[in-house]
Amino acid sequence: MASDQIALMAHLMRRVGVGATRDELEALAARPYEDVVEDLLHPERFPDEDDDALDRYYPTSLSPDIPTPWAGRWLYHLVTSRGPLRHKMALFWHHVFATAWFKSEHGPSIPAQIETFRQHGLGDLRRLLLELSRDPAMSYWLDNCENHAGSINENYGRELLELFSMGIGNYTETDIKEAARAFTGWTFEQPIPLYPYGGYPTKFVFHPDDHDDGEKTFLSRTGRFDGGDIIEIIVEQEATARFISRHLYNYFVADEPQVPAWSVTPPQDPEAMATLMRAYRDSHADVRSVMRALLNSDFFKVARFRRVKSPAELVGGAVKLSGALDFPDPSVIGMASATAVMGQTLMDPPTVEGWHTGKEWIDGGTLTERVNFAVEQVLDPGRPGVRAIARRLAEDGNPLSPEAFVDRCLDLAGPLAVGAATRTALLEHAAAEGELWFEGEAARSKGEARVARLLTLIVAAPEYQFC
Partner 1 sequence: MTTQGIGNGAKRAKEPVLVVIQLSGGLDFMNTLIPYTSGVIYDARPTVSVPAEQTLPIDDRLAWHPAAKALKDLYDAGNVAVVQGIGYENSSRSHFRAMDIWHTCEPLRIATEGWLAKTVREIDPHGENPLTAVSFGRGLPRALAAPGVTATSVSNLDQFGLMTKVEQAQERAHDLEIFKRMYTPGIGTGIVMDYLSQTGRDVLKGADMLATVPGEYASTVEYAANPIAQSLRDVARVHTAGLGARVFYTQHGGYDYHSHEPLMHPRLLKELTEAISDFLADLRAHDAADEVTILAFTEFGRRIRDNGSGTDHGSGGGAYIIGDRVAGGLYAEYPSIDPKDWLYGEDLRHTIDFRGIYGTVLEQWLGVDPAAIVGGTFEQIRPYRSTLLAS
| Closer of 214 and 419 to partner 1 (Cβ) | 419
- 429 touching partner 1, by CB under 8 A: yes
**Which CB, 238 or 428, lies closer to partner 1?**
428
Q: Which of 102, 197, 206, 327 binds partner 1 (CB under 8 A)?
A: 102
Return the residue of 425, 443, 444, 446 that touches partner 1, per CB under 8 A. 425
Least distance CB 415 / partner 1 (angstroms): 18
Give the interface segment with partner 1, choosing from 8-16, 73-81, 218-226, 347-355 (CB under 8 A).
347-355
Is residue 404 at the binding interface for partner 1, with CB under 8 A as the rule?
Answer: no
294-313 positions binding partner 1, by CB under 8 A: 308
Report the distance separating Cα 453 and Cα 366, nearest Å. Answer: 22
Which of 151, 174, 190, 222 contacts partner 1 by CB under 8 A? 151
Residues in 251-270 that interact with partner 1 by CB under 8 A: 255, 257, 259-261, 263-265
The H or E element that residue 89 is part of is helix 85-96
Considering Cα of 152, then 154, then 155, then 160, what sign does the dihedral take? Answer: positive
Question: Is the CB of residue 438 less than 8 Å from the CB of residue 394?
Answer: yes
Q: Which is nearer to partner 1, 84 or 349 (CB)?
A: 349
Q: How far is the CB of 422 from partner 1 (least distance, A)?
A: 4
SS3 of 372, please?
helix
DSSP strand E in 108-195: where?
A: 186-188
Among the listed residues 129, 184, 185, 190, the one whose alpha carbon sits nearest the alpha carbon of residue 154: 184
**Residue from 31, 207, 284, 359 that binds partner 1 (CB under 8 A)?**
359
Asked if 123 interacts with partner 1 (CB under 8 A), we say no
Element (H, E) at 222: strand 221-223
Q: How far is CA 241 from CA 181, 326, 403, 443, in A?
A: 24, 42, 48, 59
Chain centroid offset of residue 444 CA? 38
**Nearer to partner 1 among residue 257 and residue 399 (C-beta):** 257
Q: Which residues contact 236 (CB under 8 A, 6 or more apart)?
A: none
Pairing of strands 216-218, 221-223: antiparallel
- Binding string to partner 1 for residues 164 to 183, with x set by CB under 8 A, is what? ----x---------------
Q: Which of residues 9-38 bind partner 1 (CB under 8 A)?
A: none
Sign of the C-alpha dihedral computed for residues 358, 364, 368 and 369 taken in this order: negative
Gap between the Cα atoms of 333 and 67, Å rounded: 10
| Region of 80-88, 235-243, 365-373, 388-396 interacting with partner 1 (CB under 8 A) | 365-373
Among the listed residues 49, 363, 403, 435, the single contact to partner 1 using CB under 8 A:
363
Residue 326: CB minimum distance to partner 1, A:
19
Q: Whose Cβ is closer to partner 1: residue 268's or residue 296's?
A: 268
CA distance 12 to 3: 14
350 lies in the binding site for partner 1 (CB under 8 A): yes
- Is 419 a binding residue for partner 1 by CB under 8 A? The answer is yes
Contact 145, 106 (CB under 8 A): no
Nearest residue (CB) to partner 1, 329 versus 428: 428
* Nearest approach, Cβ of residue 417 and partner 1 (Å): 12
Q: Tell me whether residue 223 or residue 365 sits nearer to partner 1 (CB atom).
A: 365
Burial group, residue 45, by CB count within 10 angstroms (0-12, 13-18, 19+) = exposed
Q: Does 365 bind partner 1 (CB under 8 A)?
A: yes
- Shortest Cβ distance from residue 180 to partner 1 (Å)? 10
* CB-count exposure of residue 240 (10 Å: 0-12, 13-18, 19+): buried
Q: From CA 312, how far away is CA 23, in angstroms rounded? A: 23
Handedness of CA 424, 428, 431, 436 (dihedral sign): negative
Q: What CA–CA distances, in Å, run from 382 to 330, 439, 451?
A: 17, 18, 11
CB of 284 to partner 1, least distance (A): 30
Stretch that binds partner 1, among 54-62, 276-284, 326-334, 371-379 (CB under 8 A): 371-379
Of the two residues 48 and 162, which places its CB atom closer to partner 1 in the complex?
162
* Cβ contacts of 59 within 8 Å, gap of 6 or more: 69
Binding site for partner 1 (CB under 8 A): 102, 142-143, 145-146, 148, 151, 153-155, 158, 162, 168, 255, 257, 259-261, 263-265, 308, 341-343, 350-353, 356, 358-369, 371-372, 375-376, 379, 419-422, 424-426, 428-429, 453, 456-457, 460-462, 465
